[in-house]
Amino acid sequence: MAEKKNYFPEAEAKTTITTDLFERMFFEDLEERRLKLYVPIYPITAISVASSQILLASDIVDHILRYNREDKGLPVEERKPIKLLINSPGGDIFEGMSLMSTIMLSKTPVWAINMAMEASDALYVGMVCHRRFALPYTTFLLHDGEAGAADSYSKFQDLAKYLDVVNGDVLKTLLMKYTKIDELTYKERHRDEWYMQPEEAIKNGICDEILTDLSLLL
């Protein structure tokens, strides 16, 4: 009896099946308007870190724009919400502000779901969404961020001045608008590494609801 030829080594077959499955899931997510921010908010110059199945902040901006084009002419209440699933430590402030601005201007509702962590920039991205959810044992981190060094002292000074404006004006204004954190609390805590679980995030107006089942994610 002829031996059955194995066209795919076992490891290669598993890899192929896994890759196909993730590709199908990826495109199903896009069709269902589930966008996943599961990486740091990389600057566009770090595009090489991406794979075909990983969305950068700039990719999420593009998809939000696409869904708004598809919904053009529809009343807001008839538009299918965009679900932004977040597990990110934050990252580049400029990419983060681009994504925040797009969400704020989106007529199609964007709902944030904290899947594990919303930290730094990613917290602000989730904060400005039209509805904000969290899984029960997730983490929120509010802090004043990190500053990268420039290639000269004078440029570093210029960058520091600009970041003072961003942190002390832009982000502070957003925090006052979208949360229950008042100016006194902000002054007391803005230099801290302020970690919160969902209950505290709800108390501070950063999150709206803790999910009690998975129906919103399906």
**Domains present along the chain, CATH in parentheses:** 31-217 (3.90.226.10)
- For the segment 137-165, what is each residue's pLDDT rounded down to a tens digit? 999 999 876 555 555 667 667 766 766 66
Encode pLDDT of 38-86 as tens digits.
999 988 776 666 567 789 999 999 999 999 999 999 999 999 999 999 9
User: What are the catalytic residues?
Assistant: 120, 143
Query: Does 12 have pLDDT greater than 80?
Result: no
Mean pLDDT over the full length of the chain: 86
The pLDDT value given to residue 170: 81
What's the rounded Cα separation, in Å, for the pair 148 and 207?
29
Q: How much is the pLDDT for 190?
A: 77
91 and 124 in contact (C-beta within 8 Å)? no
pTM assigned to the model: 0.84
Say how many CA atoms lie within 13 Å of 21 toward its Cβ.
6
Indicate the angle between helix axes 57-70 and 93-105, nearest 10 degrees: 10
Question: CA-CA distance, 108 to 102, in Å (whole number)?
Answer: 11
- pLDDT for the residue 163: 66
Give residue-wise pLDDT tens across range 110-134. 999 999 999 999 999 999 999 999 9
